[in-house]
Amino acid sequence: MRLLLVEDDRLLADGLASQLEKAGFSVDIARTAREARMLGDREDYRVGVLDLGLPDGSGLDVLRRWRANHINFPVLILTARGDWQDKVNGLKAGADDYLAKPFQTEELVARLHAIVRRGEGRVLSSVRAGGFELDENRQTLRVEGGGEYSLTGTEFRLLRCLMSRPGQVFSKEQLMEQLYNLNDNPSDNVIEAYVRRLRKLLGADAIKTRRGQGYLFDDTP
Ligand code: CA
């Protein structure tokens, strides 16, 4: 799941990015308001973390611009502790949640999962489809009447993407976009390789190939 982290504090941004990657997000960092506007317009993010104090402007203006341009991925804003005005302005500008600095990464991750779930109309912290259950917190796959398996970060991200919209065909390009950030340089056949590995766990029928189009998760019995 692609995540845009807008934060000009280099140390905080880099540390946070690696922890968010571990939690199953593919993270791009924007360090200025200009970069944030550009990436938000161009890339297909599922969620954003937005610092308000940026060197070339306010995060609030970035958020207003995104929303005016119908860029609607859920956004959590980072505010200074105790600044209630920031929180109110952030929510009014179209933020979905906020967190005061300093914060625990675990709380940030839980809140990000929560706003993504709300956006997808889910209540539970798992994705269920076709007799399979994906646990977001533990990155495991449970098979109905079978075992439970830990997934690698990439396996988890790929399966999460497919299982969150059963029946929808995802092209290889769309899957690559959700799996990798702008700095990654994966090879062309990486999706095929991961689909093959996932089919060993899920059985041959759960992930269908549509020739020339892509892949879909089939949740019909
Ligand atoms: Ca800042």
Per DSSP, helices labelled H in the chain are: 10-22, 33-42, 59-68, 84-92, 105-119, 153-164, 172-179, 190-202
> What tokens does 44 get?
């297909």
Q: Find the 54 Cα to ligand 1 centroid distance in Å.
A: 5
- Position 143 scores a pLDDT of 92
6 in Cβ contact with 50 (< 8 Å): yes
> What tokens does 118 get?
């709300």
Cα separation of 51 and 57, whole Å? 11
Q: Find the 53 Cα to ligand 1 centroid distance in Å.
A: 4
Neighbours of 155 (CB within 10 A): 19
Determine the 3-state secondary structure of 148 from DSSP.
Answer: strand
* Strand 97-101, strand 75-80: pairing: parallel
- Position 171 scores a pLDDT of 94
- Position 179 scores a pLDDT of 87
Which domains does the chain show, CATH number per domain?
A: 2-119 (3.40.50.2300), 126-217 (1.10.10.10)
Cα separation of 60 and 66, whole Å? 10
Give CA separation, 74 vs 187, 188, 193, in Å: 30, 30, 31
Q: Find the 21 Cα to ligand 1 centroid distance in Å.
A: 21
Q: Find the 17 Cα to ligand 1 centroid distance in Å.
A: 15
Q: Find the 102 Cα to ligand 1 centroid distance in Å.
A: 12
- Position 119 scores a pLDDT of 86
**DSSP symbols for 27-41:** EEEE-SHHHHHHHHH
Q: From the first residue on, what is the mean pLDDT of each consecutive set of 10 residues in the chain (221 residues)?
A: 96 95 94 98 95 95 96 93 85 94 94 92 86 91 92 92 94 90 83 94 93 94 77
Q: Find the 44 Cα to ligand 1 centroid distance in Å.
A: 24
- Position 181 scores a pLDDT of 85
Cα separation of 169 and 172, whole Å? 10
Q: Find the 32 Cα to ligand 1 centroid distance in Å.
A: 9
What sign has the CA pseudo-torsion 106, 37, 27, 9? negative
Q: Find the 22 Cα to ligand 1 centroid distance in Å.
A: 23
- Rg of the Cα trace of the chain? 18
- Position 79 scores a pLDDT of 85
What sign has the CA pseudo-torsion 95, 17, 128, 193? positive
- Position 201 scores a pLDDT of 92
- Position 73 scores a pLDDT of 96
Q: Find the 100 Cα to ligand 1 centroid distance in Å.
A: 12
Peptide bond into 102 cis (omega under 30): yes
Cα separation of 171 and 132, whole Å? 22
Determine the 3-state secondary structure of 3 from DSSP.
Answer: strand
pTM, to two decimals: 0.83
Q: Which one-letter amino acid corresponds to residue 9?
A: D
